[in-house]
Amino acid sequence: MPGFELFGDIERQQVNDVLESGVLMRYGFDGMRNGHWKAKELEAALEDTFKTKHVQLVSSGTAAVTVALAAAGVGAGDEVIMPTFTFVASFEAIMMLGAIPVLVDIDDTLVLDPKAVEAAITPKTKAIMVVQMCGSMGEMSALQDICNKHRLLLVEDACQAIGGTYKGKSLGSIGDLGCFSFDFVKTITCGEGGAVITNNNTYYKNADHYSDHGHDHVGNDRGAETHPFLGYNFRISELHAAVGLAQVKRLPEFLKIQRKYLKLFQDIVGKVDGVTLRTVPESGEESGSFFNFFLPDLETSRKVIEGFKHGGIDACWNYYDNNWHYIRKWEHFKELKSLFPISKEVIDGLKYLKTKSFKQSDHYIGRNISCLIKLSWTEDEVIERANKMADIIKGVLIS
Ligand SMILES: *Cc1c(COP(=O)(O)O)cnc(C)c1O
């Protein structure tokens, strides 16, 4: 994954273009900027990459999820169904809009279980947020069918799956709106940055205005602008966009490396007796940002992680006790530890979290090990690493 591993002259050149003009802002200053519009250029490049009609860059992946939901009109009291295995950004964004996150189980894809989704739908449900974790995807056809049947929005958080595809379409471009992150550890990095993508003209226009205080961006040099509605500042800077522009051109190269290494891990580690691979939906192709596999149970996973640590295998996690990505450790969320008052509607809407158990998610997350795939490794290093991992796993399974 992290694109920063391969920073070089292309990134430096792009950033210098911006610094030489001194215009670090993506809007306005038309006369001063020596013709550089890095954010606009990056949006065009991403439209081409993801084969989508519109891309709106924003300041982060978290901002992208927030703006996507806002652009589609999700707000006070609406319920948004989301998975237990995700990143805290998912529920933060929903909460910021005054809406209610409804967490449901994942399945062996490590993404939303369509059956759990359908069971959680109420008259208040407005959207389903599918989080394409660790480079792969959920059962998108089933999720689309549910959305069509119940007239719900499908929002895709594809922050960890840049370049993954389903039925030949880019992840992120399948739902009504898709979200990407270009933070420091993602496949394409800008330092901080994100994007909302959509084929819907209204959602795009809303995202464009909302992410810049509601400005309508009419006319040159910001002269003729009005505010059709309320907004906020989720803008990306030209400096960040410049780095992204260099990186996006290298995406095919990044994906080729990731997928080659993923296959090596699958061929070596995946062949060990007792190891099973994560389910990838039919006609889905992973981005290769992570290699995911299952062991027989939680105890084995913990021992294997311990073994990896002793054996010098870094960047592998079992998320069961992890407080970035899994519901079990999110006490601040379950206890609603907020700096400012939260509406009674949301407090009531979240009461279920104190009692609901997520046995099915625990089952899959407990058995899962997720390993980051680094771009800077050589093929020989990957083979050596994979063999070492396989030996450690065999050792644990025999004992
Ligand atoms: C990284 C990430 C985000 C948030 O992106 P930031 O740019 O760090 O705000 C959201 N969702 C998922 C699944 C992520 O991995």
Asked if residue 286 has its Cβ within 6 Å of ligand 1, the reply is no
What is the Å distance from ligand 1's center to 134 Cα? 11
Q: How far is CA 243 from CA 170, 183, 240, 305, in A?
A: 22, 11, 5, 35
pLDDT for position 224: 75
Tokens 């007792």 belong to residue: 274
Contact 273, 295 (CB under 8 A): no
What is the Å distance from ligand 1's center to 150 Cα? 28
pLDDT for position 223: 72
Burial class (CB in 10 A: 0-12, 13-18, 19+), 195: buried
Burial class (CB in 10 A: 0-12, 13-18, 19+), 344: exposed
Could you identify the atom of ligand 1 that is nearest to the CA of residue 62?
9
Q: Which two tokens stand for residue 224?
A: 């003729």
What is the three-class DSSP state of 266? helix
Contact 57, 241 (CB under 8 A): yes
- The strand pairing partners of 195, in sequence order, are 57, 180
From 133, 157, 188, 211, give the residue whose CB has the most ligand 1 atoms within 8 Å, as the site to mutate.
157
What does the domain layout of the chain look like in residue ranges? 3-250, 252-398
- Contacts of residues 395-399 at CB distance under 8 Å and 24 or more positions apart, as own/partner, are 395/307, 396/300, 396/303, 396/304, 396/307, 397/272, 397/273, 397/274, 397/295, 397/296, 397/300
> Is residue 8 over pLDDT 90?
no
From 59, 62, 196, give the residue whose CB has the most ligand 1 atoms within 8 Å, as the site to mutate.
62
Mean pLDDT computed over 36-54: 97
For 252-398, CATH number? Answer: 3.90.1150.10
Q: How confident is the model at residue 90 (pLDDT cuts 50, 70, 90)?
A: very high
Asked if residue 181 has its Cβ within 6 Å of ligand 1, the reply is yes
pLDDT digits (tens, 9 = 90+) for 337-365: 999 999 999 999 999 999 999 999 999 99
Share the mean pLDDT of the chain: 96
pLDDT digits (tens, 9 = 90+) for 321-337: 988 899 999 999 989 99
Asked if residue 67 has its Cβ within 6 Å of ligand 1, the reply is no
What is the three-class DSSP state of 204? helix
C-alpha span between 204 and 224 (Å, rounded): 20
Fold of domain 3-250: Aspartate Aminotransferase; domain 2 (3.40.640)
Mean pLDDT computed over 14-21: 95
> Is residue 172 over pLDDT 70?
yes
Q: In angstroms, what is the C-alpha Rg of the chain? A: 21
pLDDT digits (tens, 9 = 90+) for 97-136: 999 999 999 999 999 999 999 999 999 999 999 999 999 9
pLDDT digits (tens, 9 = 90+) for 249-261: 999 999 999 999 9
Q: How far is CA 372 from CA 46, 131, 297, 366, 378, in A?
A: 24, 17, 21, 18, 14
pLDDT for position 262: 98
Q: What is the pTM of this model?
A: 0.96
Q: Give the closest residue to 158 by CA, choosing from 142, 144, 140.
A: 140
Q: How confident is the model at residue 1 (pLDDT cuts 50, 70, 90)?
A: low
Asked if residue 87 has its Cβ within 6 Å of ligand 1, the reply is yes
pLDDT digits (tens, 9 = 90+) for 262-318: 999 999 999 999 999 999 999 999 999 999 999 999 999 999 999 999 999 999 999
pLDDT for position 395: 97
C-alpha span between 167 and 162 (Å, rounded): 15
Q: How far is CA 48 from CA 54, 197, 208, 230, in A?
A: 10, 11, 18, 30
Q: Give the closest residue to 112 by CA, choosing from 76, 85, 91.
A: 85
DSSP structure class, residue 138: -
C-alpha span between 342 and 186 (Å, rounded): 32
